[in-house]
Amino acid sequence: MFEYILWSVENGVARITLNRPSVFNSMHHAMRQEVLAALDLCRNGDAIRAVYLTGAGRAFCAGQDLQEVVDPNGPALHDILASGYNPMVRAIRNLEKPIVCAVNGVAAGAGANIAFACDITVAAASASFTQAFSKIGLIPDSGGTWTLPRLVGLQRATALMMLSDKISAEEAASMGLIWKVFPDDTFAQESLRLAETLAQMPTRALGMTKRALNRAFSNDFNAQLALEDDLQTQAGQTYDYQEGVAAFLEKRKPAFRGE
């Protein structure tokens, strides 16, 4: 089905594994299109209630494939963003299902900013992050100039982007760039368990939570209260809300359906 990513669906979780390990899962046109197609399957698949994004081999993703940008027949920088990274991070933010990004190794350039765009990003203890762009004369893209100041504040975002220092998973967690770090030997199981947990939760409420968070930095307080009111009204009409309350009152575990 795909050549440059691995794809599977199990226990309500769609697993997307970036799979060009020999070039640290850096992305060329075909790979970017496959990731976009996979995110589209996630959006349309009713059985999919959470997404798990990771990389094969030693890296999560080294961002743009730099061989592609020196190819005289390759795409222009604008096209790479307009048809690749921009729709990708938009699809990640707009997908009304939780996305766990499991950073298994180095995440650089667009690879780092794709990871930071996901809902819950965790990393193996040996993983690392670098903006990388400034080292090759580019500016941070894939939403990084929007996301990073919101995650860590202007000073840290500026230093990370201008210096492109490689930071450890622990440093990333301590400054709030990511959620958690897992030991290397349990990383795969623990990060997947996180996605599987989310896949059993009330999917529509989680999706609407994401919609509200997407607006949190542009709405004023009153607009956000109005949005919460609207979304809460919708959440209150779901099967999972009824089930959640009934399970609580009956002192049993809820069986959410994502409906």
CB of 4 to ligand T3D, least distance (A): 13
User: Least distance from C-beta 161 to ligand T3D, angstroms?
Assistant: 12
CB count within 10 Å of CB 32 equals: 22
**Helix 86-94 with 203-215: angle, nearest 10 deg:** 120
CA distance 117 to 150: 11
Alpha-carbon span 142 to 130, nearest angstrom: 14
14 touches ligand T3D (CB under 6 A): no
- Interface residue with ligand T3D, options 2, 6, 9, 23 (CB under 6 A): 23
Q: Answer for the pair 90, 35: CB distance below 8 angstroms, yes or no.
A: no
Provide, rounded to whole angstroms, the least separation between the CB of residue 77 and ligand T3D. 4
Dihedral angle computed from the Cα positions of residues 39, 40, 46 and 52, in that order, rounded to the nearest 10 degrees: -10
Q: Smallest gap, in angstroms, from Cβ of residue 113 to ligand T3D?
A: 8
Phi/psi at 250 (5° precision) = -90, 5
Site for ligand T3D in 115-144 (CB under 6 A): 130, 132-133, 136, 138, 141
Binding test (CB under 6 A) with ligand T3D, winner from 15, 38, 65, 148 = 65
Residues in touch with ligand T3D (CB under 6 A): 23-24, 26, 62-67, 69, 77, 80-81, 106, 108-110, 130, 132-133, 136, 138, 141
